[in-house]
Structure 1
Amino acid sequence: MPDSRPMPQIGRHRLPNRVILAPMAGVTDRPFRQLCRRLGAGLVVGEMVTSDPSLWNTRKSRQRMDHTGEPGPRAVQIAGGDATMLAEAARLNAAQGAEIIDINMGCPAKKVCNKAAGSALLRDEALVADILESVVAAVDVPVTLKIRTGWCADSNNGVRVARLAEEAGIQALSVHGRHRQQRFQGEAEYDTIAAIKQAVGIAVFANGDIDSPRKAAQVLDYTGADAVMVGRAAQGNPWIFREIDHYLRHGACCAKPDADERAEVLRGHLRALHGFYGDYMGVRIARKHLGWYLASDSRLDADRQRELRAAFNALELPNEQCTFIDDLFCPEHEAELAWATNGTSAA
């Protein structure tokens, strides 16, 4: 059944649909955010930015904070462990055009948790409350929060943290259905997300292992969440946002992208990466994205993926990478893939 509830709202921003691109360091840069938005994401969140302004002058930080040409609402995620510093970072980002400030309390990376930031904060609920109240008070734009279910299996405190968030004035809450010690291992659980949705009146976004339109619908139905947040499943498959949105609206799957559209999207993504990062870094960053695109192509077995990835990774110039895409989707190559797929099916 199509979801007939009103679309979720974050402060004054009503989202156009129920599927959101999760913030991912090293992935959700401006080219990828723009692509996912164009292919159906109702909201995209930028890469995590440190709350220490003294570190913002590095090239990496400047690129992470670059939202030039992006439609609103512009959502910026900040991370840190000091309430005063996070509040100042929120204020400065809002002054630079951020329309939503998201606080990271979900990152499981050691280098983040070792600095008492990310999901490590979930161990100190008093500090959590201090941070949330300080950041909300510092800005006039809505503030959201991303968490995990807890620090470990014995400290599954997501419901308590959610209540603290609502009391502090947080406008929406994204919950990854794993505790920190799981990192990305095992399967996400949605019981805690459902309990959080029952416990608070703010918008709740379900995150974790949402990799298909049907899975998105099942998670929304099971948890009662207002939207789903998609992360790793969008790598190499930005069409997933369009597919999920269509399924939630119509109860049926839409057509998969054909070869022409896949080629067009890959070419455009490569050109955007080259333009954003420059030729040297753009070529290198494009390599991981092409690897994800190859991995998402069900017609390619693991050996063929490795061959193509190795050939692409050896290229050093932007025009060589673009020519690679032209060759990959040439009629002769498509015919070869079709034959291989049919042959495998027939076997």
Structure 2
Amino acid sequence: MDLRQMQYVVALADEQQFTRAAALTGVSQSGLSAAIRGLEEELGTVLFSRTSRRVEPTDAGRALLPHARSMLAQAAAARDAVVRATRELSGTLRVGAEQCLGLVDVSGLLERFHRRYPQVEVHFDQAGSHDLLARVRAGEIDVAFVATTEHLGALPATVLGSEPLVLLCAPGHPLAGRVQQHGGIGWDDLADVDVIDFSPAWGVRPLNDAACAAHGVRRRVRFTVGDVHTLIDLVDRGLGAALVPRHVAGKPQASRLRALPLPDGAPRWVVSAVSSPGGRGASAAPHLLEMLPVPAGQDTGVPSSTSTTHARPSVTSTPVATGA
């Protein structure tokens, strides 16, 4: 057993799906599957039960999981101890993020950064992606984690990943029944549906507006919210449907809701780390960015014409697990 295998075990146990676990760990789905099979052969037991809907740890897998997490935590702590002993870094770092990005655990990243560089004073603000970009340009934030490819301009940005949007609705919603009868929904089915969406400052709102407009869909946004859990609650109460990134549908609070795939032509939701080209936190910002899990060659699903990936330090730390 090695650390990479433990990383795969933890990611697969957390995500319960090979596709998301592979994206999180920066390996192909076939590579992840082969690594898990190899570990199972080495240990002489099955670690995960596989069904068409999800992947779950077996009793043996659950027994291994706390040890896998401990190994990864100890390895990260060892790296941080070495860095603390060899690097002196101080000053202020100002970070912002949109809520519930899914593809990066900002809280976990900040914890690791603080542990590694305890002399750096970290300030954190949560806001919508478009507000955060304005604050980066104004020099008020050094690094922002955003969910948009719009208005980036010349700002240094690193694409961390992307995922499709899905339509989230209650089990009794008419569109849920249509999928059962016809096997899918079309853009015309979304016309005049009562919609729950985020405020325009959130990255997904203009994405939804533009996609529907491009396909001639008239949207009726009845509820505008500022957090994911309120959106899920309103959908669960049958007050409307919502276009959301796929990981939102995987939250425990959304377990009884239906996540319907969108028709062809739907945009992808893209998460990026955007940094200020200068400012007081310029010396600390690269040290935060170098801890990001951006494996070389990872397919982000973003067309090259819209990708904003810029040069960045090589990744030298354990990938950050996807968070809520």
Interval containing the TM-score (normalised by the shorter chain): under 0.3
- Structure that is richer in strand per residue: 2
Q: Give the TM-score, by structure 2 length.
A: 0.22
Larger RCO, structures 1/2 (Cα 8 Å, 6+ apart):
2
